[in-house]
């Protein structure tokens, strides 16, 4: 996610500094950006980097739900304390905007569909809890310190840069990796579960709108397409795209998986003028064209 945002900011003429601990495989950051290897838990480093910033976009996180369950303290140290370090450094600087990347995981099991921003937030994992805590801290810093903070709650982001070998990567990258190698995509459950798959390009568009519009300050916004796609339909779309005569393999449903989830994006549309432009079919074709 961060690499795409950096590219767009560089394209718009911004001077960009990237802080990344490289715990995930290196991203193709634009060469025009200033790269710093480091950790948000390093308070001294964070203070130095934020000192000259006019915009802070916080994408860094421990993203593994399973690791958060195995080691909730590690998850909290990264996602809560790292966020708090960044917020505390930023509140001392007169920044135009602080954008916090939250998650649809903060909602837990949807009680109604589509999920809007007023939906109760009852996360099912330490990861979801830490992301919710970071969001609450960011929006509280607006109220307590006047920080121009806003929060984005992405649903299922996909892009050609997701690593299918990463066990925490999205289902689209895993399906495409299997199908392009002539293997059947594996579905956990009966395939009827639904998700809201949003292209990384549309997420970048919403972030840019947040930077341009003060109406976002102090608010959280869903980022999705507003469309629900069944997992078995997704698998068949990818199989058809590659023109291979295979069928998905069904395996037992995983404990804790949410059945249905898709976003109500009317708040982002009405307040910021957000309108997703990349259809799922076009997004899948882009990935195929890039990855082969």
Model pLDDT for residues 186-239, shown as the tens digit of each residue: 999 999 999 999 999 999 999 999 999 999 999 999 999 999 999 999 999 999
Residues 6+ apart with CB under 8 A from 268: 206, 209, 221, 222, 223, 274
> Which pLDDT band, with edges at 50, 70 and 90, does 26 fall under?
low
Q: What is the DSSP letter of 24?
A: S
171-180 and 231-242 helices cross at what angle (nearest 10)?
30
Evaluate whether 284 touches 233 at the Cβ level (below 8 Å): no
Q: Rounded to whole angstroms, how far apart are CA atoms 137 and 192? A: 36
Residue 161: helix, strand or coil by DSSP? coil
Model confidence over 261-289: pLDDT tens digits? 999 999 999 999 999 999 999 999 999 99
What CATH class does 2-158+198-227+263-277 carry? Answer: alpha beta
End-to-end CA distance of the chain: 21
Q: Rounded to whole angstroms, how far apart are CA atoms 188 and 248? A: 10
**pLDDT of 166 strictly over 80:** no
Residue 145: helix, strand or coil by DSSP? helix
| pLDDT in the model for residue 228 | 97
Beta strand 194-195 with 229-230: parallel, antiparallel or unpaired? antiparallel
236 token code pair: 């068949």
The residue ranges of every structural domain in the chain are 2-158+198-227+263-277
Residues 6+ apart with CB under 8 A from 197: 155, 156, 158, 172, 225, 229, 234, 280, 283
Strands (DSSP E) contained in the chain are 17-20, 34-37, 55-58, 97-101, 149-154, 156-158, 186-188, 194-195, 197-199, 220-223, 229-230, 249-251
- Going by C-alpha positions, the residue among 31, 35, 24 that lies closest to residue 1 is 24
| Dmax (CA) of the chain | 59
230 token code pair: 């069944």
- pTM to 2 decimals? 0.95
How big, in percent rounded to 5, are the helix, strand and coil portions of the chain? 40, 15, 40
Q: Rounded to whole angstroms, how far apart are CA atoms 101 and 158? A: 15
Residue 114 buriedness (CB in 10 A; 0-12 / 13-18 / 19+): buried
Among residues 100, 127, 158, 274, which one is catalytic?
127
Model confidence over 77-95: pLDDT tens digits? 999 999 999 999 999 998 9
**pLDDT of 168 strictly over 70:** no
> Which pLDDT band, with edges at 50, 70 and 90, does 110 fall under?
very high
Percent of the chain at pLDDT exceeding 70: 98
Q: Rounded to whole angstroms, how far apart are CA atoms 285 and 94? A: 42
127 annotated active-site:
yes
């Amino acid at each position: 996610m961060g690499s795409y945002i950096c590219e767009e900011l560089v394209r718009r003429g911004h001077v960009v500094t990237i802080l990344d601990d490289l715990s995930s495989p290196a991203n193709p950051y634009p060469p025009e950006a200033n790269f710093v290897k480091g950790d948000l838990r390093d308070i001294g480093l964070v203070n130095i980097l934020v000192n000259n910033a006019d915009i802070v976009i916080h994408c860094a996180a421990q993203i593994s739900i399973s690791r958060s369950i195995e080691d909730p303290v590690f998850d909290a140290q990264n996602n809560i304390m790292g966020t708090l370090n960044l917020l505390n450094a930023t509140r001392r600087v007169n920044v135009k905007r602080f954008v916090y990347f939250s998650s649809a995981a903060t909602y837990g099991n949807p009680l109604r569909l589509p999920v809007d921003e007023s939906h109760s937030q009852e996360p099912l994992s330490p990861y979801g809890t830490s992301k919710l805590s970071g969001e609450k801290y960011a929006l509280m810093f607006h109220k307590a310190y006047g920080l121009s903070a806003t929060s984005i709650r992405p649903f299922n982001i996909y892009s050609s840069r997701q690593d299918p070998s990463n066990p925490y990567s999205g289902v689209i990258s895993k399906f495409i990796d299997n199908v392009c190698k002539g293997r059947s995509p594996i579905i956990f459950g009966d395939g009827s579960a639904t998700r809201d798959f949003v292209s990384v390009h549309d997420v970048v568009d919403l972030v840019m709108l947040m930077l341009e519009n003060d109406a976002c300050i102090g608010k959280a916004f869903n980022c999705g397409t507003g469309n629900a796609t069944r997992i078995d339909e997704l698998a068949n779309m990818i199989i058809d795209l590659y023109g291979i005569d295979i069928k998905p393999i069904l395996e037992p449903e995983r404990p804790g998986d949410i059945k249905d989830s898709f976003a109500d994006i009317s708040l982002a549309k009405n307040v910021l003028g957000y309108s997703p432009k990349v259809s799922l079919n076009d997004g899948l074709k882009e990935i195929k064209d890039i990855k082969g």
